[in-house]
Amino acid sequence: MALQIQKTFQVNEPLEKVWSFLSDPRKVAACVPGAQITEQVDEKTYKGAISVKVGPSVTDYKGEVQIVRLDSQNHEIEILGKGQDVRGRGSASMKMTGKLRALDSGGTEVTSTSELNVIGMLAQMGSRVISEVSNIMFGEFVKNFQARLAQPEGAADAAAQAAPAKPISATSVAWQAAKGVFRRDS
Amino acid sequence: MITKTTPEVGGMGHPIKRKEDARFLQGKGNYVDDVHLPGMVYGHMVRSPYAHARLKSINTEKAKQLPGVLAIITGEDLAKANLAWMPTLFFDKQMVLATGKVLFQAQEVAFVVAEDQYTAADAAELVEVEYEELPVLVDPYKATDPDAPILREDREEKSNHIFHWEVGDRAATEKDFQNAAVKATVHAISQRCHPAPLETCGCVADYNKATEKLTIYLTSQAPHAHRTLFSIVGGIPEQNIRVISPDIGGGFGNKVPIYPGYVCAVVASLTLGVPVKWIETRSENLQSTGFARDYHMTAEIAADENGKVKALRVKTLADHGAFNAAAQPTKFPAGLFSVCTGSYDFANSFCEVDGVYTNKAPGGIAYRCSFRITEAAYLIERAIDVLAAQLKMDPAEFRRKNFIQPDQFPYKTPLGWTYDSGNYEGAMNKALEMVGYKELRKEQEEKRKKGELMGIGISSFTEAVGAGPAHTFDIAGIKMFDSAEIRVHPTGKAICRMGTKSQGQGHETTYAQIVAQELGIPASDVIIEEGDTDTAPYGLGTYASRSTPTSGAATAMAARKIRDKAKKIAAHLLECSEEDLEWETGKFFVKGAPSKSKTIQEIAFAAYTNFPEGLEAGLEAVNYYDPPNLTFPFGTYICVTDIDKGTGEIKVRRFVAVDDCGNVINPMIVEGQIHGGLTEGLAIAFMQMIGYDENGNVQGGTFMDYLIPTAVETPHWETGSTCTPSPHHPFGAKGVGESPNVGSPAAFVNSVVDALSHLGVKHIDMPITPWKVWNILKEKGVVS
């Protein structure tokens, strides 16, 4: 099941600070609910894991994150993540493009375009559930991103190291996804 | 004509209440999941999340450590016993548990056995399977592309093409098309759907190591055939296998195949020596067991300038999924699809079908129809409407012009079938009259002027049921006869056993009525038993509306044998010769002296107490009936719909169903069958599809996505009948259970297309959802 998600949000920090944060997969991963970078393979490749729980179904993806393109000039990054569920219940891949734009206010606008491809039991739930789950996860991500960005350099790093990856709350995601299904204005 | 018995006897034509309903209505039915045996343990299936992937490893260590887990079976384990693959019912084989690779999502990978079903399910979660994803083939049209992945590495032929089958006169048909004044074409998809019986599939396998006897409680529409297959495939002596099909909660063809779960439960019971229960979940049933249809069809009709049809040409692509697990007993790869000339008098026809493999669940099965006849009826009834619209002729008048006429029966079709009897125009006239066709057309015209959308759809289908004559039909070589055994007790009551198996059809009532009709023993005094292979005579089971045409016929023939013997006993009791006796329902009397008579009950008592010298005691008979031909029920259905322009919602305002199934055993049961089949047809036309995304993920794998019609969606059904008996059936019956499912989809679709025809709409593929209609209305500029 393929899904395209485009999101734009703003942060108060200046472009260069945001860029140094965004171009470090370890820092970005720490903002993704349930995600964790476990190992750096080379300059552009990392190993990681993410746990997604929808209703009764827990999927623990383990895989690789790769920086496909890093354009410091235009402040664009393209990341490819691929993972398989450790219990063999499916796989997922995501190609994400992030682009930054400086705002007049001194802050930064972040535009991300993601192509998500899910295979397995999770994909059977169809786009109506997956896109809602993605929306909720993205909302969490933005919150974490803004909070961590606002922290002083060292603290954010320490937090990224210390915070254990926890699966995002099962019931809250499922319930919010269910609500999303009926929330036709979204 | 059938002589009508008194209501007390309850012979043919009496709407007596279903005997089986007393226990069902009290919740006292006994289904497979109600079977609880001492020491019973439970199985749970580990399934593939991928549609196509190589199996790299299976790690069962963590699962085995869970307390309560007894065994975990993998494909490699089965391979050691040569059981990793099993034959399908149509000259292919399928994996029981995957070895090497998986070929569809939800394919069976490992079988976990534990002390309770919760532990089994938890342990299944702990089985770690490593896969390597392979390119997925979903679109059947891409199956034979040069760059398509080859799915079946086990086959010698390195191709996804399964079969090419053709029938008819290609050259003569071609010539008719060259000379035709008018030609019409329709491309119609009979989408992948699923019978979704409310009881899912399952079994309890109980191997007794001391007696070496294996008893299998099974959701089986064909218990005897399954016993033989278990014996042949598993190498277990057939006398040591007993298959018991208890009450079955709907089958519709879904319970004809043998599924991997059954085989795994049997293997587990043989290994552990305890009873093993395996019951599917709803999603497992929808995602892995026998689907139906998935026929991608093109029909072309050639006709003269007056609208008289000449030739029919059909080209079809059949998507069978990962294995050709077609559950059908004909000798033809596309079953009865060549009945596609339908109710119309074509001079020539040519039909070809190609089957292909894709990364989808294997099948297909005949969902409430004789194999592929629903597809055939849908296609021809759609094509006829397309041609009528093209000629700007009224679809009813166009049908009238082209129907096979009553005096043409027995009618040989250009594709080789011989229809037994029919009066198609008669049934259509009745339906037109019931619905008030002329007035409806007027109303439609007026509504169109006001911009309102209303449609009238007709389907004048011909069914072919009662598989079947031994020359055309068999399962693994076993001919498609069926059987009945009647034992009359000394007190004049009877027990009968048949080789068929009711799944809700009401056999316990209708077979008893046949005995009542033939012997005069009240239906209430007759017990019907089916489904236990240790007691019932051998038979091929219930599907394809075959029970009445085969076991029903066998019941009448066995009863007539009993009557012959009863006559000898009556002559002995009345001290006259057999020639002097005459039969009247329930008794023999001396010609010219009606007071000198013996009732069947008196004769039954004498059969055990006072029988003539030289005659065996008892009053029993058995018959194995091999029908000389199929029977061909027919009818006309008319559907009237109103479409809401704002939402695209289709409302069925009226639905008139006139059926002709020959002589009727129980009109109330027939009506119930028609209501049920029409409701399923409605769901197929408007609601249901087992879809797949581009990665082979099932998109109709739960009741959230695969919609079951409820009372809210179901309109009021108006039924009527005509009666054209089958000339070759012992009591002129034809079978009816499947007609409404076969005949109705075209009526629904024709009605919606008719409502939109003035906008230039010629065809819409099923399921016609409000979303689809709304998009068409947008495209045509009806709504903005």
Q: What is the CATH number of the domain that holds A157?
A: 3.30.530.20
Quick check: B128 and A86 CB within 8 A? yes
Per-residue model confidence as pLDDT tens digits over B171-189 = 999 999 999 999 999 999 9
| Chain A hits for B699, Cβ within 8 Å | 124, 126
Quick check: A124 and B128 CB within 8 A? no
- Give just the sign of the alpha carbon dihedral B141, B147, B153, B155: positive
Quick check: B49 and A119 CB within 8 A? yes
Per domain, the residue ranges of chain B are 21-28+481-625, 32-134+200-248+255-288, 291-467+629-779
Instruction: Please give the Cα distance from B90 to B330 (Å, whole number).
Output: 9
What average pLDDT does this structure show over B83-112? 96
Per-residue model confidence as pLDDT tens digits over B28-37 = 999 999 999 9
Measured between CB atoms, which of B50, B129, B699 is closest to A119? B50
Cis bond upstream, residue B13 (ω within 30): no
> Is residue A185 one of the residues assigned to a domain?
no
- 3-state class (DSSP) for residue B38: coil
Tokens representing B228? 């033989």
Number of domains making up chain A: 1
The fraction of chain B above a pLDDT of 90, given in percent, is: 96
> Which helix (DSSP H) or strand (DSSP E) does residue B63 occupy?
helix B61-65
CA B333 centroid distance within chain? 17
Closest CA to B748 of B456, B373, B353, B363: B456
What average pLDDT does this structure show over B552-557? 98
Q: How far does the CA of residue B133 sit from the closest CA of chain A (Å)?
A: 9
> Is residue A113 one of the residues assigned to a domain?
yes
Q: Is B738 labeled as catalytic in the residue annotation?
A: yes
CA B602 centroid distance within chain? 42
pLDDT at A180 (0 to 100): 59
What average pLDDT does this structure show over B231-251? 96
Residue pointed to by tokens 């827990």: A58
pLDDT reading at A161 higher than 60: no
| Chain B hits for A117, Cβ within 8 Å | 695
Q: What are phi and psi of B445, to 5 degrees?
A: -60, -45
Measured between CB atoms, which of A84, A89, A124 is closest to B698? A124
> Is residue A74 one of the residues assigned to a domain?
yes
> Is residue A174 one of the residues assigned to a domain?
yes
Quick check: A88 and B133 CB within 8 A? no
Q: How far does the CA of residue B285 sit from the closest CA of chain A (Å)?
A: 14
pLDDT reading at B639 higher than 60: yes
> Is residue A186 one of the residues assigned to a domain?
no
pLDDT reading at A173 higher than 90: no
Burial B495-529 (b: 16+ CB within 10 A, else e): ebbbbbbbbbbbbbbbbbbbbbbbbbbbbebbbbe
Residue pointed to by tokens 């342990």: B123
Any chain A CB within 8 A of the CB of B689? no
pLDDT at A178 (0 to 100): 55
Any chain A CB within 8 A of the CB of B694? yes
pLDDT at A86 (0 to 100): 81
pLDDT reading at A172 higher than 60: no
From B105, B221, B513, B688, active-site residue: B221
Q: How confident is residue B472, by pLDDT bands cut at 50, 70 and 90? A: confident
pLDDT reading at A174 higher than 90: no
What average pLDDT does this structure show over B81-95? 94
pLDDT at A130 (0 to 100): 80
pLDDT at B767 (0 to 100): 98
Q: Are B244 and B215 in contact (CB under 8 A)?
A: yes
Instruction: Please give the Cα distance from B77 to B99 (Å, whole number).
Output: 10
> Is residue A94 one of the residues assigned to a domain?
yes
pLDDT reading at A155 higher than 70: no
CATH, range B291-467+629-779: 3.30.365.10
User: Taking the model in full, what pTM does it have?
Assistant: 0.93
Q: Is B369 labeled as catalytic in the residue annotation?
A: yes
Quick check: B697 and A123 CB within 8 A? yes
Q: How far does the CA of residue A171 sit from the closest CA of chain B (Å)?
A: 19
> Is residue A132 one of the residues assigned to a domain?
yes
pLDDT at A133 (0 to 100): 81
pLDDT reading at A183 higher than 80: no
Measured between CB atoms, which of B105, B128, B702 is closest to A87? B128
pLDDT reading at A162 higher than 50: no
Q: Would you tell me which CATH number, out of the four given (3.30.365.10, 2.40.50.140, 3.40.630.30, 2.40.160.40), belongs to the domain B21-28+481-625?
A: 3.30.365.10
Q: Is B368 labeled as catalytic in the residue annotation?
A: yes
Measured between CB atoms, which of B49, B283, B697 is closest to A89? B49
pLDDT at B90 (0 to 100): 87
| B21-28+481-625 and B291-467+629-779 agree in CATH topology | yes
pLDDT at A25 (0 to 100): 87
Q: What are phi and psi of B523, to 5 degrees?
A: -55, -30
Any chain A CB within 8 A of the CB of B701? yes
Q: How far does the CA of residue B102 sit from the closest CA of chain A (Å)?
A: 12
pLDDT reading at A166 higher than 80: no
Lowest-pLDDT range of A84-98, A154-168, B70-84, B101-115: A154-168
pLDDT at A33 (0 to 100): 87
The fraction of chain A above a pLDDT of 90, given in percent, is: 42
What is the DSSP code (8-state) at residue A52?
Answer: E
Closest CA to B60 of B88, B29, B95, B97: B97
Q: What are phi and psi of B124, to 5 degrees?
A: -60, -35
Superfamily of B32-134+200-248+255-288 according to CATH: Aldehyde oxidase/xanthine dehydrogenase, a/b hammerhead (3.90.1170.50)
Quick check: B49 and A1 CB within 8 A? no
pLDDT at B471 (0 to 100): 83
Quick check: A124 and B133 CB within 8 A? no
pLDDT reading at A168 higher than 70: no
Q: How confident is residue A176, by pLDDT bands cut at 50, 70 and 90? A: low
Chain A: residue whose CA lies nearest to B104: A120
ipTM reported for the complex, 2 dp: 0.77
What average pLDDT does this structure show over B444-463? 98
> Is residue A28 one of the residues assigned to a domain?
yes
- B581 DSSP β-pair partners: B590
Quick check: A88 and B126 CB within 8 A? no
Q: Is B132 labeled as catalytic in the residue annotation?
A: no
Measured between CB atoms, which of A1, A2, A88 is closest to B49? A88
Interface mutation vs chain A, best among B46, B48, B57, B695, most A CBs within 10 Å: B695
Q: Are B609 and B490 in contact (CB under 8 A)?
A: yes
Count of Cβ atoms closer than 10 Å to residue B105 Cβ: 31
Closest CA to A1 of A106, A129, A184, A186: A129
Q: How many residues does chain A have?
A: 186
Question: What would the 3-class secondary structure string for B291-302 be?
Answer: EECCEEEEEEEE
Closest CA to B110 of B163, B156, B57, B52: B57
From B293, B368, B497, B546, active-site residue: B368
Average pLDDT of the residues of chain B: 97
Closest CA to A167 of A2, A32, A41, A69: A32
Closest CA to B52 of B90, B98, B86, B84: B98
- A47: domain range? 2-180
Instruction: Please give the Cα distance from B50 to B107 (Å, whole number).
Output: 8
What average pLDDT does this structure show over A60-68? 92
Measured between CB atoms, which of A1, A88, A124 is closest to B701? A124
What is the DSSP code (8-state) at residue B181?
Answer: S
From B485, B508, B518, B738, active-site residue: B738
Give burial (CB, 10 Å; 0-12/13-18/19+) of A97: middle
Per-residue model confidence as pLDDT tens digits over A124-135 = 877 677 888 888
Q: How far does the CA of residue B336 sit from the closest CA of chain A (Å)?
A: 34
What is the DSSP code (8-state) at residue B779?
Answer: H
Closest CA to B482 of B538, B558, B536, B534: B538
| Chain A hits for B126, Cβ within 8 Å | 87
Q: How confident is residue A152, by pLDDT bands cut at 50, 70 and 90? A: confident
Residue pointed to by tokens 């047809």: B681
Give burial (CB, 10 Å; 0-12/13-18/19+) of B212: exposed
